[in-house]
Amino acid sequence: MPKQIYDVLIVGSGHSGGMAAGVLTQKGLRVLMLNAGPVPDLEKDRVFKPTHELPYRGFGNPNAHLDHVFQANEFNANTWVNEKEVPYSHAPDAPYNWVRVRLLGGRSLFWARQSFRLSDFEFKAANYPGGAGDNWPISLADLDPYYSRVEQQFRVVGRKEGWPQFPDGNFTAGVEGTDSECQKRMTAVANKMGIPVSRMRAALGDNGLASSLNLSIPGALATGKLDIVPNAVVREVTVDKNTGRATGVHFLDRHTRREMHASARVVILAAGTLESTRLLLNSGIANSSGLIGHYLIDQLYGCTVVAAMPEARDGKANPALIGGGLFMPRFRNLGKDEKRNFRGGYCLPMGTGSTPDAKYFPEYGPALQKKLDSYAGACITGGIYGEVLPRYENHVRINKSQQDAWGIPTLHIEARYGENERNLCKDAADTMEELYKACGFEILVKSDKVNPPGYSIHELGTCRMGDDPKKSVLNKWNQSHDIKNLLVVDGSAFVTGGWQNPTMTILALSMRASEHLAEEMGKGNL
Partner 1 sequence: MQRRRFVQAVTTAAAAAGTISAQQAPAPAKITTIAPEAAADPTVRFFTAAQFATLKSLSALLQPAANGRPGAIEAGAAEFLDFLIGASPKPRQTLYRSGLDHLDTESRRLFKKPFTEITADQADKILRPLLVPWTFDPPSNPHQRFLADVRADVRTATQNSKEMSQVAATANRRRRGPGGPAPYWLPIDPTR
Q: Summarize as ranges the residues that interact with partner 1 (CB under 8 A).
A: 37-41, 44-54, 56-59, 61-63, 74-79, 103, 230-231, 254-255, 302, 304, 358-366, 369, 445, 447, 449
Please, which residue, 85 or 468, has the CB nearer to partner 1? Answer: 85
Please, which residue, 314 or 519, has the CB nearer to partner 1? Answer: 314
Least separation in angstroms between CB 311 and partner 1:
24
Least separation in angstroms between CB 17 and partner 1:
18
Least separation in angstroms between CB 52 and partner 1:
4
Q: Are 264 and 7 in contact (CB under 8 A)?
A: yes
Phi, psi (rounded to 5 degrees) for 432: -65, -40
Q: Are 55 and 73 in contact (CB under 8 A)?
A: no
Least separation in angstroms between CB 433 and partner 1:
15
Please, which residue, 153 or 299, has the CB nearer to partner 1? Answer: 299
Q: Are 15 and 507 in contact (CB under 8 A)?
A: yes
AA letter at 361: F
b/e code 28-47 from CB counts within 10 Å (16+ = b):
ebbbbbbbbbeebeeeeeee
Would you state the torsion angle of the CA atoms of residues 43, 48, 54, 58, taken in this order, to the nearest 10 degrees? 110
Least separation in angstroms between CB 359 and partner 1:
5
Considering all CA atoms of the chain, what is the largest pairwise distance in Å, rounded to the nearest integer? 77
35: Cβ contacts below 8 Å, ≥ 6 apart: 12, 13, 17, 102, 104, 106, 228, 229, 230, 231, 232
148-151: long-range contacts, CB 8 A cutoff, minimum separation 24 = 149/511, 150/19, 150/504, 150/507, 150/508, 150/511, 151/115, 151/203, 151/504
Phi, psi (rounded to 5 degrees) for 229: -115, 110
Q: Which SS3 state, helix, strand or coil, does residue 249 take? A: strand
Please, which residue, 106 or 158, has the CB nearer to partner 1? Answer: 106
Please, which residue, 58 or 145, has the CB nearer to partner 1? Answer: 58
Please, which residue, 166 or 361, has the CB nearer to partner 1? Answer: 361
Least separation in angstroms between CB 55 and partner 1:
10
Least separation in angstroms between CB 20 and partner 1:
23
Please, which residue, 107 or 201, has the CB nearer to partner 1? Answer: 107
